[in-house]
Amino acid sequence: MTLVAGIDSSTQACKVTVRDLATGLRVREGKAAHPDATVVDPEVWWTALLEAVRAAGGLDDVAAVSVSGQQHTPIFLDASGAAVARSPLWNDTGSHPQMVALNAELGREEWIRRTGLPLTLSDTVVKARWLRDTDPDAARRTAAVAVVHDWLTWRLRGFGPGTGGVERLTTDRSEASGTAYWSGQDEAYTPDLFAHAFGSSAILPEVLGPLGRAGVTGAGIPGVPAGIPIGVGSGDNAAAALALGLEDGDAVLSLGTSGVVYARTAAPVHDYAGYVCSYADATGAHLPLVATLNAARNLHLGASLLGCTYAELSDLALEAPAGAGGLALLPYFEGERTPDLPHARGSLQGATLTNLTRANFARAVVEGTLASQVAMLDALHACAVPTTRMLLIGGAAKNHAVQRVLSQMVDLPIVVPEFDEYVTKGAAMQAAAALDGAFPSWELAATELPRAQFEPQIARQHVEAQRALGYIDPVLIGSS
């Protein structure tokens, strides 16, 4: 049996999955947690990768490996290969002033026209301006800027602090497209935009093709044999889309730490309304995407407050009627990216002495979470991105209340693929491509959810709650 490994360095943890090259089936896996902080020493990601490899039984019998990871999050490196500062994660809201400044300086439409991205506080270019503003000395010492997957791939090749070799950094087009200094139209960096934000130029990773090979593993890495091929890797959503075999007309709703809705298109999208980010995928196509900061953790909060399990939260939510008796939750607990509300906080609207019950509250948590996601689907539709079915993935996809309520809010067939680590699976497919020169064809099992009566009052109630707090934006009115 030939084995390949996929690595996912996500926001919350590093996961390693070893798979059978012939079938894609998981043989073994390992996991290691990341810290909860949103500005961290990047060395924690390398330490977690090594721990996850160890937990997976090592990679001594693996023929190839590839890394995927959280998009946007930068590592700022000096010429020796050492990090000059801690890294702000994509979901750290401290860079919001820098986003505002960059939009004011060049104009929001200019960023969209040239990169396909309405600038958000998550984008790498915004984090680069953040470093320039908050730690000018570190910015002056920066020779190269990479994102997490680029850097971990480089470390697996044997580079690191003190080795130099920052000019050997590599990436793929999906990660490059999330920086806001790369053009999906031209398939090339826009170095003047980086220099404008950062105040100087820096080495940027070489962008390899979808079937590219980043190199081979270096010597002396615990649990990792030297000399095995390393795939090009990708951003997390691009890896998941690859594993799902995404086709034109498919939309994906991923409910994890963040909520993400994306689809596959042949050409880049330019959303001058300012919500859809035109990313590239891992195959050569494009992946227009909208994201929220708040998603599956909302369910964790709801279960904790009610003192129940996730299954009990689901059962409670399904006891309540659509609309939760008038309760509406705006789940902006961490601020929000879509809509752009970095300083907002969660709010429960419409509570009375009679409707504030455990069941209605559980339902409001589920409805509020999904209303934010359905609004993102509407933003894709506003950009003429066609969708004929929805694939529901992520940790919260197994929740029965999530499945039922989403079926009441979206007038599309909804398919739930069997549970898998789709980011590590996509990374493993890239490892296979580094080995064989082509992506493998692995079977995907999925179940279509029963259709449910459309309940437009759920989205309408969410909009009314937004309006009550002055958050309303007509682009984000959920009506799918």
The answer to whether 154 and 171 are in contact (CB under 8 A) is no
**How many Cβ atoms sit within 10 Å of the Cβ of residue 437?**
9
- Of 123, 236, 378, 473, catalytic: 236
Helices (H), 68-143: 96-106, 108-115, 124-134, 136-141
Residue type, position 179, single letter:
T
Q: Is 307 exposed, middle or buried (0-12, 13-18, 19+ CB in 10 A)?
A: exposed
Distances (CA, A) of 102 to 318, 333, 430, 460: 45, 26, 35, 34
Furthest-apart CA atoms within the chain: distance in Å: 67
CB 449 within 8 A of CB 414: yes
Q: Where are the beta strands (DSSP E) in 249-340?
A: 250-255, 259-263, 277-280, 286-292, 328-330
For residue 285, CA distances in Å to 120, 267, 320, 383, 426 come to 22, 7, 42, 17, 15
Paired tokens of 449: 């959810």
Neighbouring C-beta atoms of residue 247, cutoff 10 Å:
10
165: left (phi over 0), alpha (psi -120 to 50) or beta: left
Number of H helices, E strands in the chain: 15, 24
Contact predicate 52/15, CB 8 Å? yes
Distance of alpha carbon 330 from alpha carbon 338, whole angstroms: 12
| Cα-Cα end-to-end distance for the chain | 46
Residue 236 is a catalytic residue: yes
* Six token digits for residue 151: 């850097």
Distance CA 169, CA 308 (A): 47
Q: How many residues comprise the chain?
A: 480
Q: Which active-site residues does the annotation give?
A: 236
